[in-house]
Structure 1
């Protein structure tokens, strides 16, 4: 009887060991075809056709445009890290949110649980590199968040997808220019546009970033006089008095309900030309704060901006 029990116990332990090996080896097929790419840190071998990509760099939208699906992402909403911004819900809705791309650390256990065959991180998460490299091949990209086209092409170059990226960017810019021309025809060739974020009592002006760069660089709309210029990733900050000195014909005011309510209660705000003429579009901070930093977000804004302007006088 004892021999039988010992035999059964041994078989059970062996089975557990085999299951454990099977589980830990899942996704690490020795026959997977690999290729060498060059990222920020140098050369790295990655699968030719990765099937289980975890991206915490903030490039998930770019990867989707380039033909890759992600199972884990950090392209979450800037005001609520537990959800997707609305413009990425259809694109990334099946992926698990692991955090926010501007954070230096993510939940490693959650990444392991997804059993990735490729992990994409940015230089922001560099201190996680060694730890994540033990899970799967890691590609590190640099997302500067200053020029969206530069970030787009950087990611595309790492993955050898420059041609697809260039085609998408050119199509988008052609559409943005077309919509810009339609807006000029409707609201005046020389009409100027301002977009800003009201947040925690401060007013952040979008010039060369976010929605501002869509209006000026992509759509070719005029900047108002008195604009503070953006010199780096940080948005210029102005007071209410400084905002009133910006001579905009049309304004996109972005903010939380609380911040927008405070703004609307200000006599200085209510005394500006655009407000007095009813030429203001108010938009929620989520998703519009982040939207201009995403290629897909930019396209969605271009597609909706005419309706937004038309809603001013409804």
Structure 2
């Protein structure tokens, strides 16, 4: 009798052990997550890591990556071959490997970083074949000028669309609030954004810095400003047609310095309504070329723009 009970007990232990092991295997399989996924992009499809750890961003989306919690190992968010000043504290240890507005890349440096994901934009199709041999490479479809669309596309790439949407919504809400405060100070006055180049002047519409002024902050543009165009090239005499109440101006530097000095000594400058009322705001070349195109920089600029306007419109 005792022997039979012992045998039954032993059998039960074996059965329970088998069931337990089977259950653990099932739980283990359930917990296992795929390490890669297939994504569609401007050049077709790519198999990329679900959680990439060594991203090289050549697309100009480094700010979006940072906001989504992905610090790259290489970036093309550069100015004069160096990481943009407003990003240096956030990109400590990150290598500058190109410039995102062109198919300009240090291929050797990218390879040395041993990336597990490379991101390009649609201006860089010429270098896709080279980089695709180094690591899985994705080409963004959204144009660089459409920063909201680009942010959403990057969010989708990492399955973080909601996070991107929330940041954009928060930014738009902040811009709307600042817009109301600015208009309380400036009433119905109009704004103009002009650049001084070595050859002529450019009156910008909804592009870069102008995008912040006229689209984000929704400030009224000076009559004659074409908001549907990037910019219009005009001569010194052509500036007479524009009579801004408030004027933002950027000097491209170099040979443009003399053009700017001549402009400030001209009757056109002295007769400018914004000049007469001390409502001229000088924009740094670096801010124009870096901060104005991506989310972190834009978020900084709307604060800086509002602060400058408040200071001269008390």
Same structural fold, with TM-score higher than 0.5 when normalized by the shorter chain? yes
Aligned to 1:250: 246
Write out per-residue CA displacement over residues 254-286 of structure 1, whole angstroms, 9 at most, x where no aligned residue: 114515434323321222111111110112211
Match of 1:266 in 2: 266
- For the residue of structure 1 that corresponds to 2:225, the secondary structure is coil
8 Å CA contact 1:197, 1:253 repeated in 2: yes
For 1:230 and 1:241, locate their aligned partners in 2 and report how far apart those are by CA, in whole Å: 23
Match of 1:50 among 46, 49, 52: 52
Distance in 2 of aligned mates of 1:54 and 1:302 = 29
Give the match for residue 307 of structure 1: 307
Residue in 1 aligned with 2:283? 283
Local SS of the residue matching 1:292: helix
Unaligned runs of at least 5 residues, structure 2 = 1-32
CA–CA distance in structure 1, aligned partners of residues 239 and 278 of structure 2: 17
Question: What are the superposed Cα offsets for residues 67-87 of structure 1, whole Å, 9 maximum, x if unpaired?
Answer: 21111111112xx2x223333
Change (3 A) 1:118 1:302: same
Given that residues 86 and 297 in structure 2 are in contact (C-alpha distance below 8 angstroms), is that contact kept between their aligned partners in structure 1? yes
Q: CA 1:306–1:100 in 2, change beyond 3 Å: closer, same or farther?
A: same
What residue is the counterpart of 1:113 in the other structure? 112
Q: Is the 1:72–1:95 Cα contact (8 Å) retained in structure 2?
A: yes
1:157-196 matched pairs, under 5 angstroms: 157-188=156-187, 190-196=188-194
Residues 262 and 89 of structure 1, relative CA distance in 2, 3 Å threshold: farther
Pick closer, same or farther for the CA change 1:84–1:235 going to 2, 3 Å.
farther
Cα distance between partner residues in 2 of 1:284 and 1:295: 18
User: In 2, distance between residues paired with 1:311 and 1:289?
Assistant: 24
Name which one, 1 or 2, has greater alpha-carbon Rg: 2
- Given that 1:61 and 1:91 are in contact with CA atoms closer than 8 Å, whether structure 2 keeps it comes out as no
Would you say 1:131 and 2:127 are equivalent positions?
no
Q: Using structure 2 for the length normalisation, give the TM-score.
A: 0.82
Quote the Cα distance in structure 2 between the aligned partners of 1:261 and 1:289. Answer: 21
Name the counterpart of 2:207: 209
Deviations for 1:227-263, whole angstroms, at most 9, x for unmatched residues?
Answer: 13433xx432222233231231101111145154343
TM-score using structure 1 length: 0.82
Question: Relative to 1, partners in 2 of residues 1:260 and 1:285: Cα closer, same or farther, differing over 3 Å?
Answer: farther
- The structure-2 alpha-carbon separation of the partners of 1:200 and 1:161, relative to structure 1 and needing over 3 Å to count, comes to farther
Give secondary structure in 2 for the equivalent of 1:213. helix
Candidates 75, 97, 115, aligned match of 2:77: 75
Is contact 2:50-2:158 (8 Å) kept? no
Match of 1:254, SS?
Answer: strand
Aligned length: 278
Q: Do the aligned partners of residues 313 and 270 (structure 1) sit closer, same or farther apart at CA in structure 2, a change above 3 Å counting?
A: farther
Residues 275-284 or 155-164, more deviating: 155-164
